[in-house]
Amino acid sequence: MAVATQVLQSEWTKIKSVRSTVWTLGLALVVTVALGILISALSKSNFDKLSPKERLTFDPTFTSFAGMGLGQLAMIVFGVLVVSNEYSTGMIRTSLAAVPQRGTFLFSKITIATLLTLAVSMVTSFLAFFLGQAMLGEHKASIGDPGVLRAVIGGGLYMTLITVFSMGIATMLRSPMLSLGILMPFFFLISNILGAVPATKKVAQYFPDQAGRKVMQVITLDDDAPYGPWGGFAIMVLWVVAALVGAYVVLRERDA
Amino acid sequence: MIELQGLTKRYGDKLAVDGLTCTVRPGIVTGFLGPNGAGKSTTMRMMLDLDRPTAGSVHLDGKHYRQLRDPLKVVGALLDAKAMHGGRSAYNHLLCLAQSNGIPRARVAEVLDTVGLTSVAKKRSKGFSLGMGQRLGIAGALLGDPQVLLFDEPVNGLDPEGIHWIRNLMKNLASQGRTVFVSSHLMSEMALTAEHLIVIGQGRLLADTSMADFIAQNSRSYVRLRSPERERLLDVLSGSGITAVTAGDGSLEVDGADGARLGELAARHQIVLHELSPQQASLEEAFMQLTAESVEYHAHSAPAPGPAPGPQPPGSGWGTDWQKKGS
Ligand SMILES: Nc1ncnc2c1ncn2[C@@H]1O[C@H](COP(=O)(O)OP(=O)(O)OP(=O)(O)O)[C@@H](O)[C@H]1O
Ligand SMILES: [Mg+2]
């Protein structure tokens, strides 16, 4: 449809022309990679102190992704701002007056932001992997090892999906502060805490981030999750789809 | 041409727009007047399908807004000067709008030139003054060279030069055969720009009339007379075939009379006059009178200096107002 290509182009101009795009995406990359390098280096120097069981379950690939827990927060900020900037600045009225077909507006915006996120996330994931492995020395994994390439690509997909999920939530909530106030503590703290407590683990393992993280792991010996890497990924995709459907349903009828 | 049919908007239990039916015609500037909270902005948002009508409909050249393929080529609107991302440059703001409606890039530079923002095109709009923001909003409205233009209080925050510029712009657009619909709460402003008037109060249509008719009907000129011998003066006046009405404060008002003639008449009969003053009820007063019943937010003003012509708005004080609203 001709109209959709116009709107995609317009959204690309929008995303390029604000500074927060470079800031948040750049921060996500730097934090993820730098922290991955740091933790990989620490793991190497500590490797001798690990117990035999810990050595057996040591996952060099996942270790190099250790920065993602923090880096994803910058991605969440990007995802939230892309959407809620429209509301906090009042631009939404100008935008919807220009594109009154709200589905076209929403999905064009999300498509452009997703493609950009995907590109940055993949670069981030591969950089974090290769630089992290370089730090690990003799304990490193190779990209050709079974499951490793899947995990590295999975790392890029995971970051992308977390961002898209944030866009869906931000569309429903409109306010950037409210969206960040819910998403950041949830993904940084609450989900991890609930995932660590045995009583709530059964539920928490179905949270989008916990399920999605599975695809980034290569060595999963002591893991009792009822799904495999792509199974966990599929659960995360379901969450994202639900958030997007919710966003569309809310936006379609809401007064701008 | 804009056609409103029974347009209604309810926010919770607040009826913001109440069964508005009217037509805005091309080729002239139509002024949309109403006091604060009358529902002007809400009506304009519904015209652009930003807010969903509770009932009724808006047709723009026969179509619903949402049916328009490239709406900016049909309708241009300035609703809120700040409806833009402050971190984006003026040029990029207009470019993303242009692209979304398949408007050629060259048009962006053209409208920037029209509104006089070429020199700051690459600057982020965050740093713009109110007037510059307003101009950028107008550039956005003109972008698609639309036949219908909506402006919500466009002169807000503009300096006299800017106001003059907007006034001429609107008249020019109308003279090119476009439909120009502009809201304001200043009657005096509209008297200078608009040829047709639509007045609303509390969401309801109060008047739909040409400016000329409104002025003819409402700009009453009269002479105020004050005399200690009022009864005798009344007799003398009626003896000469002049009708005078007694105003609330005891003075007499004679419509459309010549002050000199009244003075001579009084002198001939040796009647002492304490006052003889020509008066002109302004359009603003006529407008206030028209909307008095529906004014929602009365300011509690100090007693007006001198007797104000025309009846006071009923219940113009907090004391009675909250009772009215609560009911
Ligand atoms: N989103 C909203 N939610 C609830 N009430 C609203 C909303 N928008 C407007 N209203 C109410 O509807 C009424 C009409 O508001 P509107 O902004 O349309 O008036 P207006 O004529 O533009 O006033 P002004 O001259 O002050 O701009 C007001 O009482 C306002 O409080
Ligand atoms: Mg308004």
SS (H, E, C) B256-291: CCCHHHHHHHHHHCCCCCCEEEEEECCHHHHHHHHH
- pLDDT at residue B296, rounded to an integer: 60
Q: Which of B8, B17, B36, B41 to mutate to test the pocket of ligand 1 (most atoms within 8 A of CB)?
A: B41
Residue A6 lies in a domain: no
The Cβ of residue A3 has, within 10 Å, a number of other Cβ atoms equal to 16
From A49's Cα to the closest Cα of chain B, the distance in A is 51
Average pLDDT along chain B? 87
Residue B56 C-alpha to ligand 2 middle, in angstroms? Answer: 20
Asked whether the predicted pLDDT for residue A167 surpasses 60, the reply is: yes
Whether residue A8 lies inside any domain: the answer is no
pLDDT in tens, chain B (327 residues): 999 999 999 999 999 999 999 999 999 999 999 999 999 999 999 999 999 999 999 999 899 999 999 999 999 999 988 899 999 999 999 999 999 999 999 999 999 999 999 999 999 999 999 889 999 999 999 999 999 999 999 988 788 998 999 999 999 999 999 999 999 988 888 888 999 999 999 999 999 999 888 877 777 788 999 999 999 999 999 988 888 888 888 889 888 778 899 999 999 999 999 999 988 777 777 787 777 766 666 665 554 444 444 444 443 333 333 333 333
Cα separation, A229 vs A147, whole angstroms: 10
Output the residue whose Cα is nearest ligand 1's atom 17.
B41
* Chain B environment of A112 (Cβ under 8 Å): none
Indicate the residue of B79, B92, B97 with minimum beta-carbon distance to A98: B97
A3 within a domain of the structure (yes/no)? no
Is residue B157 within 8 A of residue B85, CB to CB? The reply is: no
Instruction: Select the CATH number that applies to the domain covering B2-216 from these four: 3.40.50.300, 3.10.20.30, 3.40.50.620, 3.65.10.10.
Output: 3.40.50.300
Calculate helix-pair angle for B259-268, B230-239, nearest 10 degrees.
110
Closest CA to A25 of A70, A64, A76: A76
Return the closest-CA partner of residue A217 out of A227, A207, A229, A209: A229
Substitution target in A17, A20, A87, A107 with the highest count of B β-carbons within 10 Å is: A17
For B47, name the nearest residue in chain A, comparing CA atoms only: A97
| DSSP assigned state of A215 | G
pLDDT at position B316: 37
Predicted pLDDT at A2? 58
pLDDT at residue B98, rounded to an integer: 98
pTM here is 0.86
Residues of chain B positioned with their CB less than 8 A from the CB of A85 = 85
Residues with C-beta less than 6 Å from any ligand 1 atom? B 11, 14, 16, 34, 36-42, 185
All residues at 6 or more sequence positions from B117 whose CB lies less than 8 Å from its CB, including other chains:
B90, B132, B135, B136, B139
**What pLDDT is attached to residue A236?**
97
Chain A residues with a Cβ under 8 Å from any Cβ in chain B: 2-3, 6-7, 9-11, 13-14, 16-20, 85-86, 89-101, 253, 255-256
**Complex ipTM:** 0.92
Mean pLDDT over residues A222-229, rounded?
83
Report residue A1's pLDDT band, with 50, 70 and 90 as the boundaries.
very low
- The protein residue with its alpha carbon nearest to ligand 1, atom 10, reads B16
- On whether the CB atoms of residues B289 and B187 are closer than 8 A, the answer is no
pLDDT at position A150: 97
Q: How many domains does chain A have?
A: 1
| Among the partner residues A13, A89, A96, nearest to B99 by beta-carbon distance | A13
Q: What is the mean pLDDT of residues A24-33?
A: 98
pLDDT at A41 over 60: yes
Domain membership of residue A7 (yes or no) is no
pLDDT digits (tens, 9 = 90+) for A113-123: 999 999 999 99
Tokens coding B8: 């209604």
* Spacing, Cα B206 to ligand 2 middle (Å): 17
Give the residue range(s) of CATH 3.30.70 domains in chain B.
221-280
CA–centroid distance, B214 to ligand 1, in Å, is 26
The answer to whether residue A191 is domain-embedded is: yes
Distance from CA of B61 to the nearest CA of A (A): 16
Q: How far is A174 from chain B (nearest CA, A)?
A: 15
Domain hosting residue A44, numbered range: 18-253
pLDDT in tens, B253-279: 888 778 899 999 999 999 999 999 988
Do A99 and B88 make contact, defined as CB atoms within 8 angstroms?
A: no
**Subunit contact B72:A6, Cβ cutoff 8 A:** no
What residues of chain A lie within 8 A of the CB of B52, using their CB?
Answer: 253, 255
**Ligand 2 centroid to residue B133 C-alpha, Å:** 17
Q: What is the pLDDT of residue B221?
A: 80
Distance from C-alpha of B31 to C-alpha of B207, rounded to nearest angstrom: 11
Of the listed ranges A12-16, A156-160, B116-120, B256-260, the one predicted with least confidence: B256-260
- Which one is the CATH code of B221-280: 3.30.70, 3.30.565, 3.40.50, 3.90.660? 3.30.70
**Domain(s) of CATH 3.40.50.300: residues in chain B:** 2-216
- Tell me if A75 is assigned to some domain: yes
Cα A6 from Cα A231, distance rounded (Å): 36
